[in-house]
Structure 1
Amino acid sequence: MLNSEKMSKSTGNFRTLRQAIEEFSATATRFSLADAGDGVDDANFVFETANAAILRLTKELTWMEEVLAAESSLRTGPPSTYADKVFENDMNIAIRLTEKAYKDCMFREALKNGFYDLQAARDEYRLSCGHGGMNHDLVLTFMDVQTRLIEPVCPQFAEYVWRKLLKKEGSVVSAGWPTSAEPDLVLKSANKYLQDSIVLMRKLLQKQLLGSKKAGKKGAQVTAVPEGKLRGLVYVNEQFDGWRAHCLEILQSKFDQQTRRFAPDAEILAELREILKKEGQADNFKQIQKLCMPFLKFKKDEAISIGTQALNLRLPFAELDVLRSNMDLIKRQLGLEEVEIYSASNPDDVSKAGPHASLLTQNPPSPGSPTAIFVTST
């Protein structure tokens, strides 16, 4: 395929290898061929991908040259911050996944893991570091790893970086595959939670600033906040409680790990009704049932996909610790004067929201989904 259409001389939709090299260069042609697709589907060489590769690789060379020229300004010492650990872990994951993809001759997958995802991790790291700056050793490790991972696809590009920029001895072709520590999947999950939480907080901030009527109908936070210096009060509930906890406990007992199937919904709901009856909440069962059905479906799908850990009452990491370790990032991302992280299960913490505490009832936090309240900074 050429630009998503059948390559054919009769229609004029055709390029020889020599023409592609003359038009895009050998490096961009190889990049686009690797990105053309895996598996048994027809490969699709796309001109936009080749042109984008030229721009992207050129931009990467410029970034490396600028960083190496200002190498002395990078933060020294061993990786120690939360952002350092996340970036180091992302590199370990990229090394493992890219190696597997190359072994399976899945070149598009290798390009995704060893270039696109690694670039995204670097960009996120650069943003997360803020005023403290990036760690010197980690940045050089990234350049080394990135060069080795892209070498099978773009050997000319990798060789230039290896010899001219990194001043390495010998050829990158014979440098070998980079070593990696065992990836920390819990840390990766914690970082995804952090990034998702920042996106969620930004949406809540916009709703409060705009006083969205549409959001009000859905019961979300819509308290109007004047623009200016704002303070964010972020509330976390690290454990499911109430009917959600009951649902998860029932799902744990009704899940067959071998077949990865659950008992029928009628059986699950019947047990939930009995539990609520003992707690004196049977009268509210119809209302609770409407709320719990989407929750049950989501958790069942998640358990079938990743296993029984999806049914735990708590996340595998401390949400409060993750958010408190990244308050500076949250402030910068949301443009806040101040950020405070509290536990929604602590009455003293809830009282600090003052007249805005009712928003915690309207939009209660749950594991993986904190609630933010924004007030004028005094």
Structure 2
Amino acid sequence: MPDIPSAARLYLRPIQFVDTPIGRDGEVARLAGGLLWFFAYELIAVENGRRILQRTLSIAEAEADPRLAPIAARITAPRPPLVLGPRTLRFDQPQVMAILNMTPDSFSDGGKHLGDPAAAAQSGVDMSIAGAAILDVGGESTRPGAETVWEGDEIARVVPVIERLAASGAAISIDTRKAAVMEAALAAGAHIVNDVSALLYDDRALEVVARAGCPVVLMHAADPKHGAKGKGAYADVLVDVYDWLEARVEAAVAAGVDRSRIVVDPGIGFGKTLADNLALMNGLALFHGLGCPILLGASRKRIVGALASEAPAERRLGGSLALALKGAGLGMQLLRVHDVFESVQALRVWRGMQDAALTGPHAAV
């Protein structure tokens, strides 16, 4: 490896994915214990906020270097399953998290279920039947310009739905920034906290999650108040988001959250430009270096409209599937979606192709 200043921060991004490891012993590595194998890493070295090196390394080169070996080990280590009530969520293949909003103003489906918890719960059950592994219930919109919801109202929106879903045996996530809502939702039967502020919005949130011992999704959002750069302020969005999420993971672990229960989310669309979002999508594999399962939430986001004739949110299915499959192809373990049936079907076809490539005829070795 070339001489790199000791003060430089080093990153590894898995690249050169292959269909099968057969006949490639010692040449390829398995990504996070999943369905994907890769032939090389892109090494990125950063000093004083600027990339000073990018080059391709073989698997053997990365594993032999004492500064890179721990990163490579995190990238290849299987992700432990999450036990969610009666269900166990395994990360050996991509799973779908279904969006179930109990809001009047979410950008895509606001008002669809508000005020009718029975109908909302039935919709959640239907999404589970369609193949969703987790139901993500939210009572406050996170779209740009949305008003903050009083925690009492948020609890009133989500708890009756969660109670019904818990009775059905579903795995449930609560999408909230507020500690009181987390507590009420977990008491009602939710299993995971999904916080778009990475437990920074509410001073009690980190304590609540640590005490509950529940899994948590830590998401990056552009918010200078929380140390994340604002829209258009990134010199290197991929590295900046990685560093910010790494700091949040370490803070959560220091507070008593088990690292094996942390999921990270790069926050596609949250205060980021189109260029930022595209850089994140293309560089998603870098985040495996954090050693956590990764959630990709790109469904019906502005990135689709920006690239597809300004299609409105309800007409972004095709683009959403393209982003989901891009994520699957880069090893994302969780895909947060609105269109469950279509997304699950796309992933099953993708999985079929992966299996065929892995087990099909190969040259004699």
Please indicate the TM-score interval, normalised by the length of the shorter structure. Answer: under 0.3
Greater fraction of residues in helix = 1
- TM superposition score normalised by structure 1: 0.25
Greater fraction of residues in strand = 2
